[in-house]
Structure formats: structure tokens, C-alpha cells
Amino acid sequence: MSRMRMRLVVLQVVVLSMLAVLGARLWQVQVVRGKEFVNAATETRTRSVMVPAVRGQILDSSGRPLVRNKTALVVSVDRQRLQRMPDGGAEVLAKLAQVLGKPVKQLEKRIRSCGAGVTRPCWPGSPYQPIPVDERVQTREALQILERQEEFPGVTAEVQAVREYPQGKAAAQLLGYLQPVTQEELDKRVGLKAGFSGVDLVGRDGLEYVYDEALRGKPGLRQVQVDRLGKVLGVEQQVAPTSGDTLITSIDARVQNVVEQAIAHAMKSAPKADGAAGVVLDPRTGRVIAMASAPGYDPTIWTGGISEAEYQRLLSDKSGKPLVSRAINGQYAPGSTFKVSSVSAMLQAGYPLHGTYDCPGSYMVGDRAFNNFHGIGLGPMTLHTALVKSCDTIFYRTSYEQWLKDGGLHPKTPPKEVFANMARSFGFGKPTGIDLPGESSGRIPDRTWKKDMWQQTSADNCKRSRTGYPEVKSASRAAFLKRLAYENCVEGFLLRPGDAANFSIGQGDVLVTPLQLARAYAALVSDGKLRSPRVAWARVRPDGTLVQTIDPPVVGKLPISAKDRAYIKDALSQVPSDGTAAGAFSGFPMDQVRIGGKTGTAQVWGKEDTSWFASFAPAANPRFVVVVMVSQGGMGATTAAPAAREIYEGIFGIKRPALVPGGRPASRLPLIAPDGTVAR
């Protein structure tokens, strides 16, 4: 009996002890840490959701959309949440694949991180960002996911804005594309991280990249109540997002399409052509009216993720690297279009503007004969005729004379280098500063450049001068390369007389971009001011309020007089009617619209010539500068010039209604109504 009583006492003590501990714990939870747990409970049922802003449109100079948004149902997956599941989210992905009608393997590839050895499709963005796996979901599929959320944890279906390109492939390289935000970007760009909605995309190229912050807008904030399954029970607080600005450009969509067609036709007419570019500038303002590059690509290829095969095609030499804009990145010898700089250099060096110059079939530069085109001599002529008929030997002679005045192989300190310095004054040898990323600088090969290049290549040249080129199949070609390597090894730092001669006609090591050449001609035929071109014209709010006007800045001035510029422009005005481009413009109504310009045919070792035509119109009062380049297109007069003619016929309405009424670029911004539509 006493043993039974003892057991009851022990049991009572245990129970009382447990009640005491429970009471103490309740007092601690409810009194001591009560506020802390209340806040924690509130946080558990409240979620803050960043609401992405609608990205701004990109319009042409008349308000036509170049890039706009369309709404689409997008299904996204939270990979981090799936990975925390016991099976790594395999069951959820299997169910999702069944709803979307896609293979599970495809979804798995879409949500894996891009990296070394990982082929596309993959996710290049932040691992903490919801990953879109289908951007063309039907309402029925989205409802299946939303109504059975317990079966699809970590999966969302939302209406989002997706980029649309009403002009098709036109200006793809100029407009750029969007890609997910990477974790590295979030870590580096504090402003981006602060305003990141979790589903934002950022510009990766073109205008989308340069004006990304303005186009992206500011995300809103929504605080919602959710149950344990994540279903939304109600909205506690909401701050609306601020839509991105609308970017109005100086691009004329109609002219852009004509330029795209013209360079495509030019490439078809030249069997070996592997690329082309066309640039149209307003010479008075420096604004870009059209800029095209071929081959191009369809920008919608980025929507919904790009496959490895598609991505490699965009970068492939075989497909012509369609992702690269030849207008601003392509560097080519300009041929005779460069002579406007050489004539200006001659005038600055003291050669008479109205002098008479002999144009023999060949001219000895040092111990080597440099020939005119086809070795044909044209006799005595003025500089005016030298440009119209494109005489080479006049420029060989004058550039060689200036090279000798600078000391030849033993230059004075410092040498004047009249031809090279004039070329720089025309804007060659450095980027134009256009509001597009990745612009190339071109090349002006002066004495300093020769020394720098020799320091970089002398070791390889000296090695090749001993070993030769056994991998080259042609014995004569291999012998030539070995001899050239020896010369560059021993004296590659010297600017030779042949270098000076080739420079004067835009050959040898001279490289320019089509945009650089267009800008140089724009300065020459307008007010002599060198401007940094701009594609963007203005930023406006979605309701039409003007935020900023973007003006092309003046960055230099041609060092020749207005009289000299007028003389050169007058000579160029006769090239399409009486000079090297006469065949290309045969039958063109010059009495209605006179075209001025210069053909260029640049030789490239082992390839067909690069075809150029740099031009302006109307010749008396230029409102358009048009430059066309066709890589491996042959002669300038047979490929590039006809393409330029096609562009002018579209602009001025030859054989069809004029694309530009009145023959003048747009001078006033389109009006955006308060509802976001274009008023005119």
C-alpha cells in the first residue's frame, strides 16, 4: 500500500513539474516574447510582391511602333523552391509538363543555370528569379495551375508584357533584345537590385541596352495575405508600378524597310557577297534616319528562350554573324570614297584648288609602280575631274611627296602627316560616339600605329620568316607570306612609301565603318561640323509628357574652308551623271532630284572587292546622306551604287509614292496623347 502511495506521489510531482514547465513556457511565449511571435506570425501570412512595370515602347520618327508590348500568360517556376522538395521537384515538373504539353526534359533544361559546358536552352538569369518556362500559355492551362495550386507549389501563371516587333526583322541589330537579369548584375548594380521585380528583363544590345533604365520603369509593390499553401487570401496594400518611358527615335520605318530591301537585293546581285550595310543620316542634325545590316535576324528569336543551335547561328561566321551590325562594327577599306579626305589634305598641304594635275596610267612610288584603275591614263585634269573620274595616280603622287617631306624612312620630329591628320579630322580612326553599344573605331595607319603594330607582331613575324607557312597549300602564296614576314620582322615599324600611296586612296591598312563614312560626308556637304550621330530623339512619359530631347552633339569641325567644301561637293554632284556612277544612275531623273556621291572599290587579298557608294541628295541642298557597303560585292558602281539608287527612289518617290513627303526628314516629334496613343 505504501508502495502504491509512493508511486502516486511521484506521478503527482511529475505532472506538477510538467505543468510548471508548460506554464513557464506559456508565460515566456505570451508575455516575454509575445510581440516577437506576433510579428513573426504576421510575416508568415503576409507576402510582399514586386509588381513589374510595363516596359516602354520604341517608336519611329512618326510614332510608328518599332518595339511594343503585348500581353501574354506566362508560366514560371521557382527553382529554389523545387530544389527544397524531397524529390527535387520532379513530381511537380512531371505534372506541369503534362498540363503544358511539353516534355519534362525540356522544362528541366529551361530551368537549369547557364554556365561552362551547359548548352542552351538554359537560364542565364539570377537563380532567385522565377524562370519562365512557357510564354504562350492558353487560359485553360493557366487556370489548371492556379486552381490546383497545392499540386503545383513553386509554379505561377501570370499575365505579363512580352516584346513584339511590328516591323519584323527590320533594324534588329539597332533595336537590341532583352535577357534575364543575372545575379552578377544584381550584385554590381545597386540601383537595379533596389528596383528589381523578380521577373524583369534587361536590355542586352542596341537601344534596349543603352536606354534600359528609362525603358524599364519602376516596379510597384503589392502586400498580400496568403494561406499555408501560398494561395492569395486578400490584398493588404498596393503601390502601382510606374511604366517605362516611350523612346522616340529618328528612324523612319518606311525608309528603314527600303534600306533593308536594297542591301538584300545588292547581296543577291553579287554572288560572293557575304555582308552589307546601309546608313541614312540627316546631314543637318546628325540624326540616324535608317541603319541596316545584312544578314539580319528575327528579334522574336529571344522571346521564350533561345536554343543553342539558334544562338550559335547568330554568332557563326558561316551564317554571316547576323547578331553583329556591320554598320557600326564592320571595318572595311573604304576605297575611293576616302578621296574626299585626301583632296582636303592636299589643299591643306598647299596644293592649288584650281590647279592642273597629270593623271598618268601609273606612277613610281619609290621603286614600285602604282597603277591607275586598269592602268589607264587620263591626262591633265583638275581636282574636280579627279574626283569625278576617280583618278588614283594624282593621289599616289601627292601623298608620296608629303611622305618625303616628312623625312621618308627617317621621319622628322614630329612629322606633319597631313593625310593621316586630315583623316582624323573627318572622324576616322575613332568611334563616332553613337548611342549604340560596341561601336568599332576603324583604323588610321600612321607612323605611330606602325610602331605599335610591329611591337605586337614582330616576334611572330620573325618566327614565320624562319619557319615559313607550311600549312599554306599554294607555293607562291606561302613564299609571298614568308617574304612579307621577313620584311615586317626587320623593318615592320617603318611607314613605307607604298603605305602612304595606298592610304591616299583608302586602301592598305585603312579601315572605316559605314557609319563613320556617312558622318564624314554629312559634315562635308552641310555646315562642316562633325556630329556624334544619335538614333534616339526623345523620351516621353506614357501620357505624352516630354522628359528629354536627345540632340546629337557637335564633336569637331572639318579644317577646310566653306569654299573648299563647296568645290568638293560640286565635283561629287557630277559623279552619278558624268562620272564613275553614271551607269548605275542611267535614266534617273536628275532634273527632279540631283544625287551627289562617290563610288569606292576596295581590294581585299583573297576575296572579291568591297563595294562602296557614299552619297547625298538633293545635291544643292542635301537633306539625306546615304552610304551603302557590300562586302565582296565587287565594284562600287555595279553593286553599292544601284542599291543607293533604290533607296533614293523610295525616299523621293521615283516610280512609286514618296516615302518621305516633301523630301525632308521629320523635324517635329510625334504627339503622344494622354492615353498613350499617337495623336499624329
Assigned C-alpha cell, 283: 546631314
C-alpha 480/C-alpha 486 separation (Å) is 10
Q: Does the structure show a pLDDT above 60 at 198?
A: no
Q: Does the structure show a pLDDT above 70 at 43?
A: no
- Quick check: 664 and 657 in contact, CB under 8 A? no
Residue-range domains of the chain with CATH: 47-244 (3.90.1310.10), 253-298+325-333+512-531+553-662 (3.40.710.10), 339-504 (3.40.710)
Give mean pLDDT, residues 347-370. 96
**Residue spans of beta strands (DSSP E) within 198-339:** 201-203, 220-226, 232-239, 246-249, 275-282, 287-294
Give mean pLDDT, residues 321-341. 97
C-alpha 320/C-alpha 274 separation (Å) is 7
Residue type, 162: V
CA 543 vs CA 59, 208, 243, 678, 679: distances in Å: 14, 21, 10, 10, 11
C-alpha 27/C-alpha 41 separation (Å) is 18
Beta bridge partners of 362: 371
Residue type, 485: A
Q: Does the structure show a pLDDT above 90 at 582?
A: yes
C-alpha 410/C-alpha 553 separation (Å) is 40
For residue 41, name the pLDDT band (cuts at 50, 70, 90).
Answer: low
pLDDT digits (tens, 9 = 90+) for 226-244: 665 555 666 677 788 889 9
- 3-class SS string, 405-462: HCCCCCCCCCCCCHHHHHHHHCCCCCCCCCCCCCCCCCECCCHHHHHHHHHHHHHHHH
Non-local CB neighbours of 202 within 8 Å, separated by 6+ positions: 178, 179, 180, 181, 185, 192, 209, 212, 216
Lowest mean pLDDT among 303-312, 321-330, 569-578: 303-312
Burial, 380: exposed, middle or buried (Cβ in 10 Å; 0-12, 13-18, 19+)? exposed
For residue 156, name the pLDDT band (cuts at 50, 70, 90).
Answer: confident
Q: Does the structure show a pLDDT above 70 at 367?
A: yes
CB atoms within 10 A of CB 238: 12
Strand, helix or coil at 225? strand
Q: What is residue 195's predicted lDDT score, i.e. its pLDDT?
A: 59
DSSP state of 288: E
Burial, 153: exposed, middle or buried (Cβ in 10 Å; 0-12, 13-18, 19+)? middle
C-alpha 208/C-alpha 177 separation (Å) is 6
Q: Does the structure show a pLDDT above 80 at 446?
A: yes
Q: What is residue 19's predicted lDDT score, i.e. its pLDDT?
A: 77
Q: What is residue 8's predicted lDDT score, i.e. its pLDDT?
A: 72
Burial, 559: exposed, middle or buried (Cβ in 10 Å; 0-12, 13-18, 19+)? middle
C-alpha 247/C-alpha 557 separation (Å) is 29
Which residue did the predictor score with more confidence, 116 or 100? 100
For residue 406, name the pLDDT band (cuts at 50, 70, 90).
Answer: very high
Q: What is residue 606's predicted lDDT score, i.e. its pLDDT?
A: 86
Assigned C-alpha cell, 91: 513530381
Q: Does the structure show a pLDDT above 90 at 28?
A: no
Non-local CB neighbours of 581 within 8 Å, separated by 6+ positions: 575, 597, 599, 613, 636, 637, 641
Question: How many residues does this entry show for the chain?
Answer: 680
Q: Does the structure show a pLDDT above 80 at 603?
A: yes
Give mean pLDDT, residues 404-423. 95
For residue 309, name the pLDDT band (cuts at 50, 70, 90).
Answer: confident
Q: Does the structure show a pLDDT above 60 at 1?
A: no
Give mean pLDDT, residues 131-147. 86
DSSP state of 218: B
- Quick check: 210 and 203 in contact, CB under 8 A? yes
C-alpha 513/C-alpha 442 separation (Å) is 6
Burial, 9: exposed, middle or buried (Cβ in 10 Å; 0-12, 13-18, 19+)? exposed
> Taking every pair of C-alpha atoms in the chain, what is the biggest distance, in angstroms?
142
Q: What is residue 71's predicted lDDT score, i.e. its pLDDT?
A: 79
DSSP readout, 146-187?
Answer: HHTGGGSTTEEEEEEEEEE-TTTTTTHHHH--EEEPPHHHHH
Mean pLDDT, the chain, rounded, equals 90
Contacts 24+ apart (CB under 8 A), 376-380: 380/356
State how far Cα 370 lies from the chain centre. Answer: 39
Please name which of 335, 498, 519, 346 lies closest in space to residue 427, comparing C-alpha atoms: 519
Please name which of 646, 643, 622 lies closest in space to residue 631, comparing C-alpha atoms: 643
DSSP readout, 599-622?
Answer: EEEE--TTSPPEEEEEEEESSSS-
Give mean pLDDT, residues 326-352. 98
Which residue did the predictor score with more confidence, 590 or 310? 590
Strands 246-249 and 58-59: parallel
For residue 552, name the pLDDT band (cuts at 50, 70, 90).
Answer: very high
Contacts 24+ apart (CB under 8 A), 672-680: 672/63, 672/246, 672/540, 672/542, 672/543, 672/544, 673/544, 674/543, 674/544, 675/543, 676/246, 676/542, 676/543, 676/544, 678/59, 678/62, 678/63, 678/64, 679/544, 680/63
C-alpha 318/C-alpha 309 separation (Å) is 13
- Quick check: 447 and 218 in contact, CB under 8 A? no
Q: Does the structure show a pLDDT above 80 at 2?
A: no
Which residue did the predictor score with more confidence, 452 or 181? 452
Non-local CB neighbours of 27 within 8 Å, separated by 6+ positions: none
Q: What is residue 180's predicted lDDT score, i.e. its pLDDT?
A: 80
For residue 307, name the pLDDT band (cuts at 50, 70, 90).
Answer: confident
Q: What is residue 586's predicted lDDT score, i.e. its pLDDT?
A: 96
pLDDT digits (tens, 9 = 90+) for 453-478: 999 999 999 999 999 999 998 898 89
> To which residue does cell 519602376 refer?
218
For residue 650, name the pLDDT band (cuts at 50, 70, 90).
Answer: very high
For residue 14, name the pLDDT band (cuts at 50, 70, 90).
Answer: confident
For residue 384, name the pLDDT band (cuts at 50, 70, 90).
Answer: very high
- Quick check: 294 and 267 in contact, CB under 8 A? yes
DSSP state of 125: S
Q: Does the structure show a pLDDT above 60 at 197?
A: no
